[in-house]
Amino acid sequence: MEFVTFRKYPQLDTAKYLVQLLEKNDIANEFIQNKSNLDRNFSSPLLEDFEVKIFPKDFELAEKILLEDNKKFITSLPEDYYLYSFSNEDLKEIISKKDEWSEIDFLLAIEILNSRGIAISEEEIEASRKQRLQELKKPEKNPHDWIFAGYVFAFLGGLLGILIGYFLWKQKKTLPDGSRVYEYVLSDRIHGKRIFKIGIISVIIGVLYQLFIA
């Protein structure tokens, strides 16, 4: 079993706090600082993020621990916090798409709805979570442009064709429950595999040709 990404943060302190919280609860983790390779001579906090990985089997427990820990921050939020101006429908969307929001926003959305007389039960939250997982499991839209570009670069013998092919063939995404699914449908992954192989063959032919004429 390998570690998979649980959270990414732009701030080091936030990521380190999560690591401490996980270790306090005996949850194995891996901390990674990602830096952009666009320009090694240019250093900027905008070009890096901090990633915390855990085992998929620990996702549910880690989520519960993180939510419980964030409850203590709710009372310290200012009265003009932006969620207070959200409509009921907007707040329900936060609950149904929890993976797109912070834990504080998720908890506060429930609290605001409750204060408005709209009770959100645990059963409703669980139903929303399962429905959201089914939505996220759906493959991405058909990447026609990437497939076309992949074949072109692969036949031209470029390494870019190999990279595009491998991406289409092997790319996976991590769901909120820690499971991983392929990014694209089988037919697109078959294209990716073909592009990858064509790219490899083209590169080999190109190398042999250069050796022959040399």
pLDDT digits (tens, 9 = 90+) for 3-62: 999 999 999 999 999 999 999 999 999 999 987 655 444 444 555 789 999 999 999 999
CB 125 within 8 A of CB 92: no
Sheet holding 29-35, edge to edge: 4-9, 48-54, 29-35
Chain mean position to CA 119: 30
Give CA–CA dist 58/128, Å, rounded: 20
Question: For residue 193, what pLDDT is reported?
Answer: 97
Tokens matching residue 15: 């990521």
* Pairwise CA distance, residues 30 & 32, whole Å: 7
Question: What tens digit of pLDDT does each residue of 58-115 get?
Answer: 999 999 999 999 999 998 899 899 999 999 999 999 999 999 999 999 999 999 999 9
What pTM was computed for the model?
A: 0.76
pLDDT score of 210 = 82
End-to-end CA distance of the chain: 48
Bridging pattern class, strands 48-54 and 29-35: antiparallel
Alpha helices in 28-74 (DSSP H): 59-74
Distances (CA, A) of 66 to 35, 63, 93: 26, 5, 20
pLDDT tens digits along 179-193: 999 999 999 999 999
How far apart CA 35 and CA 99 sit, in angstroms, is: 24
Q: Looking at residues 151-158, what average pLDDT do you find?
A: 90
Chain CA centroid to CA 80, Å: 30
Per-residue pLDDT at 37 = 55
Q: Which pLDDT value is given to residue 36?
A: 61
What pLDDT sits at residue 44? 46
The band of 214, judged by pLDDT with boundaries at 50, 70 and 90, is low
Q: Please provide residue 51's backbone torsions phi and psi, each rounded to the nearest 5 degrees.
A: -115, 135
